[in-house]
Structure 1
Amino acid sequence: MAEPVALMALALDAALGWPARIHSLVGHPVGAFARLIAWCDRGWNRPDRSRRARRMGGVATVLILIAVTGVGGLALAWGASKLGSAGWLAAALLAWPALAQRSLDQHVVPVIKALRADDIVAARAAVGMIVGRDTAGMDRADVARAGIESLAESFCDGVIAPLFWLLVGGLPGIWVLKAVNTADSLIGHKEEPYRDFGWAAARLDDAMNFIPARLSALLICVAGSGGWAIGWRYRRAHASPNAGWPEAAMAGVLKVRLAGPASYDGEVMDKPWIGEGNEAGLPDLIRARHVYHRACALCWVVAGGIAWLA
């Protein structure tokens, strides 16, 4: 049996998340990526530069990120390999911070608690920590729907995609993915001032999440014992080529409608609905969390099976 690096990394993340004490001492690797992106942004995304120059600056930013994280990942993998029989455990420790099973769950719990307490103000504040839309005018259904959408989409971004690239590319693979994902979150926007500068980050993030998004939809449907037809029918209803897959799958499993009109920076965007059925509520958010837990458990089974067969 091959060393279960991915399985151990999943176990560490599920048990510990990224502890606050460690974060206070050394931060998190994505913080370093963010600082590098900000440095490139200041130098290459100035308004006095042409659109072409800003796009090329964005391409250069992504290439630098790939080079830094790819070489860094190779160095980490080489160092772990020199530890002999303990090398696989060191590799798991080095991959652990790139996963976010526990973190996603911990962010959804306060939303559920606030809705249970019928505290809409606290619920808006809690869901505002995990979504980018305006939350001030949300009602209970809006909050529940936003929480479900975030959980489904983040299952791909925070669990499946890192796990996939760890299995495919080892430590370089998982950390390049996290760097690209961080860049997409910070600069991969269609609006100014990032329309051109963030183009490369957004396109590469789409490419790296192409397979993971579809795998995440599959796992959600398996974990939820259904949702196949709705997931397939509405997979392309999202503006993102990937996010619609897990969201549509979750909508199908829960038999609710997700997405729909939402406000961003004071402007209402008339986004299409994803799914068919009832308006989302607290029971649906709770059930979505249970589906998420089972889908994560399936990841463990897959990682363990691959280690056994390798």
Structure 2
Amino acid sequence: MPADPWLVLAAGAVEAATGYPQRLHARLPHPVAWIAAALRGLEIRLNRGGARTRRLAGAASLALVAGGAALAGHGLERLLAGPAWGFAAAAVAGSLGLAARSLHDHVAAVDRALSAGDLPGARAAVGRIVGRDVGGLDETGVAAAALESLAESFNDGVAAPLAWFLVGGLAGLFAYKAVNTADSLIGHRDERYRWFGWPAARTDDLMNLLPARLAGGLLALAGGGGWRVMFRDAGRHASPNAGWPEAAMAGALRVRLGGPVAYDGEPHHRAALGEGPPPTPADLRRGLALYRRALALAALALLVGGLAWRR
């Protein structure tokens, strides 16, 4: 069932204030780690046979994990519906599906290293949030990688979870996180995951279809521009969704993102997004400020939505 926008806002406030503390994670791993462990176990046992068998096994595994997450969210909602402290507990539970603070902290670590002139440290920091080869990146390459990750993850870690929380409550939020985690783990086109991960990749594409465009719109609105670049260049991206926030970020900052990268030593061509110069470390700092303004706009929308909800 749909969630109270103020509950979603409260969950966002909890996550922004605390994140998921590393000390807590060391003792009680984040629920995403549980999802990942379940998926790895199923993949090891079921990813065998021909293409059709692997695809069916992948679909069954995804349904089991995402369905289990949705049932857990629904059960938790029912459990917390009665007590006076239920709203606060539901906000804490909802914060587990959001990653606004975590994303900001990871990208800010790249910014700090670049600002200090520590290129090896900046490469190491950006290597924690991107999959491309980072050993040969210069300052511009590091800044571009961080901005692209910031933009794409604004959807995956913020806009899409908020949207699914709103329309489906904790059940919708947890189901989305399960699907998105599955896509990250097994939604690849290499030989091992080509068929087993296909259902996860396609389901993730579908669940992000509208949120990604919302994320791009929030970035363009927060940046006071970028709409033209977003609508023109989003379709150039290999992903049906990631291009929207990335192109909006490029347009709002008036820089060029995308372009050639390497994965495991193999060069990959990517279309350019935007029409400005490559980003500098100063542009990364501007991107973080833009991200914070987009978060504020999302919070304002939830606040206004909560007022309408109570009418």
Cα contact 2:8–2:165 (8 A) shared by 1:
yes
Give 1:87 deviation, angstroms: 1.9
- Please, what TM-score do these two structures have when normalized by structure 2? 0.97
For residues 103 and 130 of structure 2, the distance between their equivalents in structure 1, rounded to whole angstroms, comes to 12
Partner residue in 2 for 1:162: 161
Residue identity opposite 1:256 in structure 2 = V
- Please, what TM-score do these two structures have when normalized by structure 1? 0.97
User: Residue 235 of structure 2: SS of its match in structure 1?
Assistant: coil
User: Residue 91 of structure 1: SS of its match in structure 2?
Assistant: helix
- Following superposition of structure 1 onto structure 2, how do residues 231-310 of structure 1 map, counting pairs within 5 Å? 231-310=230-309
For residues 100 and 119 of structure 2, the distance between their equivalents in structure 1, rounded to whole angstroms, comes to 26
Partner residue in 2 for 1:75: 75
For residues 27 and 139 of structure 2, the distance between their equivalents in structure 1, rounded to whole angstroms, comes to 38
Residue identity opposite 1:66 in structure 2 = A
For residues 282 and 21 of structure 1, the distance between their equivalents in structure 2, rounded to whole angstroms, comes to 31
Give 1:86 deviation, angstroms: 2.4
Partner residue in 1 for 2:181: 182
For residues 72 and 294 of structure 1, the distance between their equivalents in structure 2, rounded to whole angstroms, comes to 33
User: Residue 235 of structure 1: SS of its match in structure 2?
Assistant: helix
Cα RMSD for the two superposed structures:
1.0
Give 1:306 deviation, angstroms: 1.3
Q: Percent identity of the aligned residues?
A: 48
Residue identity opposite 1:229 in structure 2 = R
- Closer, same or farther: CA 3–301 of 1 in aligned 2, 3 Å: closer
- Following superposition of structure 1 onto structure 2, how do residues 43-54 of structure 1 map, counting pairs within 5 Å? 43-46=45-48, 49-54=49-54
Give 1:3 deviation, angstroms: 7.2
Unaligned runs of 5+ in 1: none
User: Residue 294 of structure 2: SS of its match in structure 1?
Assistant: helix
Give 1:163 deviation, angstroms: 0.4
Structure 1 residue ranges, 4+ long, deviating more than 4 angstroms after superposition:
none
1:142-187 Cα offsets, whole Å, 9 max, x none, are 0000000000000000000000001000000000000000000000
For residues 239 and 46 of structure 2, the distance between their equivalents in structure 1, rounded to whole angstroms, comes to 26
Partner residue in 2 for 1:15: 17
Residue identity opposite 1:25 in structure 2 = R
Cα contact 1:4–1:88 (8 A) shared by 2:
no
Partner residue in 2 for 1:55: 55
Unaligned runs of 5+ in 2: none
- Following superposition of structure 1 onto structure 2, how do residues 62-101 of structure 1 map, counting pairs within 5 Å? 62-83=62-83, 85-101=84-100
User: Residue 268 of structure 1: SS of its match in structure 2?
Assistant: strand
Give 1:97 deviation, angstroms: 1.0
Partner residue in 2 for 1:150: 149
Partner residue in 2 for 1:133: 132
1:245-295 Cα offsets, whole Å, 9 max, x none, are 000000000111101000001100011111111111111100000000000
